[in-house]
Structure 1
Amino acid sequence: MKIIDAHMHFWDLEQNYLPWLCDPRPLENFRYGDYSALRRNYMPEDYRKDAEGFDVVGGVFVETEWDPSDPLGEISWVKGVAMRHGLPSVAVGQAFLDRVDAPGILAAYGADPFVKGIRHKPRAAPRPDAVEAGARGSMGDPVWRQGYRHLGRNGLSFDLQTPWWHLGEARALADDFGDTVIILNHTGLPADRSPEGISAWRSALRLLAGAPNVRIKISGIGIPGQDWLVEANREVVLTAIEIFGTGRAMFASNFPVDSLVARYRDIFNGFDVITSDLTGDERDDLFWRTASRTYGVAV
């Protein structure tokens, strides 16, 4: 099974400034807990070692929370990486949609065929009952939405990383800006695996999937302190596929971040086992074809 990895990261901490990895004080409440193991360079040669034995034919680089004062610098750097190493195939850049420089940044990305979209993590509430409609920096913030408007004008997609309790706002965004494709990152972050948590996540996913311009990355579903097991993740994977269909779903490693909770082979062998009853065409969608279509990765 060939793979287009729909979500990968590279960084060189000796050359570049990524605050969350370079600053002495770590982020609070990082979803996988202690991430000190990530404070090292991670380049395509490291990725290929992790992915040894798998036929990775392309990959989508997603912004790494690079120095926020220089979003375009990350794209310049990663294009050089791609030229030297053959990975990544395309990139999703950093932008801050509620900043005054957003229109110029997005115009620059739109003029660069290597850049297919952007990611800006909107402000999120810590739990479902704390959601505040229209909060500053959220998907409902008029200033944030004004910046979002420039994505469609520049032919860019939007990688959305947010917990499932904000997917109602995401649906409104998808409806209001139908010319912009939204790619939900990390399966909507179903961290609560209780029956109640899974039920609420499933309902939110169904709401979002009702918009035809939304895709989903099945990734980032590791559980801190536990091995990545088929038994633990089968329901999440199959639910996402059932709701979105294989034509709008894609698999991704989220490496090296998910190396905190799993080996590369655990993740992709797990995806293989979980989808073993699907047709060859459906599996092609999930492992490479949806990513190819969504991000314009030639195979």
Structure 2
Amino acid sequence: MTLPIIDAHHHLWDLGANRHPWLQEEPPIPFRYGDTRPLRRNYLPADFRRDSANQHVVASVYMEAEHDPADPLRETRWVHEVATREGMPNAMAGAAFLDRADAAEVIRAQAAMPLVRSLRHKPRGVARPEEYDPGHRIPGSLRCPAWRAGYRHLAESGLHFELQAPWWHLPDAVELARDVPGTLIILNHLGLPADRGRAGLAGWREAMARLSEAPNVRVKLSGCCVPGRRWTPELQAPVVLEAVRLFGAERCMVASNFPVDGLLASYDEVMGGMRAIIAGLPEAAQRRILHGTAAETYRIDA
């Protein structure tokens, strides 16, 4: 418990100051963990500090929280105001909509903000692996020409890309990493291995193995809750340790995905569980996963 942590992916929100449609509109959106209504409350630095108090968190990275898409820069400005007042977060991932006409303008504006290190735009895709077609050109997907045109502006901005996509779309990410090698891709939430059946895990392992061959990809060990099941080291160790085996500790980092993962676990269960899962690795590897990879990726001096 003495090794320091950089939490590489968490959220904050003030529902009175900002608009987050997924948290404020009715009916609630379908969500992989179930009912999102318990999240409909402010989550501010005091709440994060209370949740993380036992885990020696020395720095953190804010992840865009699906703020009003009409004004993604408003969220970024708000996070900077919070950081100035509260001393956290230490870096952030902002939002940009890569298939929109203003993608290049928004990317440049985000890159000019001091805390922004990366951007996220969740690509469209199919809901189940059996629906995946490797030749697809779904509008707004990783293979969409308009989306890819926007993505190419990231390289000139120097920003990373936060990829959140289910594992059956990772072949698209392999092509993206190959075609635009100058942009670092940070895979969120282990490629969403929600199906822990034999076939589901086999498909996830194969997709992750192919992605691991791309040198410009890193992985967040986060967001791997299984609907209806409590977060435990026994449940999560197989996917966490397999990701570390494939990518190496130097390309893996822990993250809480709080408060979202708080629907199924406490902060101590998630981060204490991650510590337990990697406890058998050499201390240098543990330090890299808990702190070093995130510090390097997000340029945090902590």
Name the residue aligned to 1:272: 275
Q: Deviations over 1:70-119 (max 9, x none)?
A: 01000000001111111110110011000001000001112223100100
Deviation at 1:129, TM superposition (A): 2.2
- State yes or no: 1:200 paired with 2:203: yes
What is the rounded CA distance, in whole Å, between the counterparts of 1:101 and 1:195 in structure 2?
43
SS at match of 1:158: strand
What is the rounded CA distance, in whole Å, between the counterparts of 1:44 and 1:58 in structure 2?
12
What is the rounded CA distance, in whole Å, between the counterparts of 2:166 and 2:225 in structure 1?
15
SS at match of 1:20: helix
What is the rounded CA distance, in whole Å, between the counterparts of 1:174 and 1:38 in structure 2?
34
Deviation at 1:280, TM superposition (A): 1.2
Matched ranges for 1:195-274 at <5 A: 195-274=198-277
Deviation at 1:225, TM superposition (A): 2.0
Structure 1 residue runs of 4 or more that deviate by more than 3 Å after TM superposition: none
What is the rounded CA distance, in whole Å, between the counterparts of 1:280 and 1:234 in structure 2?
17
Q: Deviations over 1:48-88 (max 9, x none)?
A: 11111121111110100000000100000000111111111
Unmatched 5+ stretches in structure 2? none
What is the rounded CA distance, in whole Å, between the counterparts of 1:97 and 1:181 in structure 2?
16
Among 1, 4, 26, which residue is 1:2 paired with? Answer: 4
Fraction of identical pairs, as percent: 48
What is the rounded CA distance, in whole Å, between the counterparts of 2:178 and 2:27 in structure 1?
39
SS at match of 2:152: helix
Matched ranges for 1:1-299 at <5 A: 1-28=3-30, 30-132=31-133, 133-299=136-302
Instruction: Report the residue type matching 1:156 in the other structure.
Output: L
Q: Deviations over 1:179-216 (max 9, x none)?
A: 00000000000000001111110000011111000000
Unmatched 5+ stretches in structure 1? none
What is the rounded CA distance, in whole Å, between the counterparts of 1:27 and 1:51 in structure 2?
27
Deviation at 1:279, TM superposition (A): 1.1
Q: Normalization by structure 1: what TM-score?
A: 0.98
**Contact 2:223–2:261 under 8 Å retained in 1:** yes
Deviation at 1:273, TM superposition (A): 1.1
Deviation at 1:271, TM superposition (A): 0.9
> Which deviates more, 66-75 or 227-236?
227-236
What is the rounded CA distance, in whole Å, between the counterparts of 2:114 and 2:51 in structure 1?
28
What is the rounded CA distance, in whole Å, between the counterparts of 2:48 and 2:176 in structure 1?
34
What is the rounded CA distance, in whole Å, between the counterparts of 1:129 and 1:222 in structure 2?
22
What is the rounded CA distance, in whole Å, between the counterparts of 2:107 and 2:301 in structure 1?
23
What is the rounded CA distance, in whole Å, between the counterparts of 1:273 and 1:9 in structure 2?
24
> Which deviates more, 245-254 or 84-93?
84-93
Instruction: Report the residue type matching 2:221 in the other structure.
Output: I
Instruction: Report the residue type matching 1:171 in the other structure.
Output: V
What is the rounded CA distance, in whole Å, between the counterparts of 1:225 and 1:280 in structure 2?
33
**Count of residue pairs brought into register by the alignment:** 298
User: Cα RMSD between the aligned structures?
Assistant: 0.8
Instruction: Report the residue type matching 2:276 in the other structure.
Output: V
**Contact 2:171–2:210 under 8 Å retained in 1:** yes
Q: Normalization by structure 2: what TM-score?
A: 0.97
What is the rounded CA distance, in whole Å, between the counterparts of 1:232 and 1:115 in structure 2?
33
SS at match of 1:247: helix
> Which deviates more, 220-229 or 203-212?
220-229
What is the rounded CA distance, in whole Å, between the counterparts of 1:298 and 1:98 in structure 2?
34
